[in-house]
Amino acid sequence: MSANPEPPVRLTKAEVEAILSAFSPADWQRAQSIANLLNLGVTGWTPSDLLQEAMVNLLDGTRAWPREVHPLVVLKTVMRSIASNARKHNQASPIDANTIVDPLATDEDGRTAVAHGRVDLTPEDQLSGKQQLVALYAKLGGDKDLEDLATAWSYGLRGNEARQELGWDVRKYDKERQRLQRRLNEFDPDRRPK
Q: pLDDT per residue over 32-58, tens digit each? A: 999 998 888 788 889 999 999 999 999
pTM above 0.95, yes or no: no
Domain range annotation of the chain: 13-92, 123-187
Residue 96 pLDDT > 80, yes or no?
A: no
Up-side HSE of residue 113: CA atoms within 13 Å toward CB?
8
Least confident piece of the model among 111-125, 131-145, 173-187: 111-125
Which has more confidence, 31 or 105?
31
**Are 48 and 32 within 8 A, CB to CB?**
yes
Residue 24 pLDDT > 80, yes or no?
A: yes
Q: How far apart are CA 81 and CA 90, in angstroms?
A: 14
Beta bridge partners of 101: 115
Q: How far apart are CA 44 and CA 94, in angstroms?
A: 15
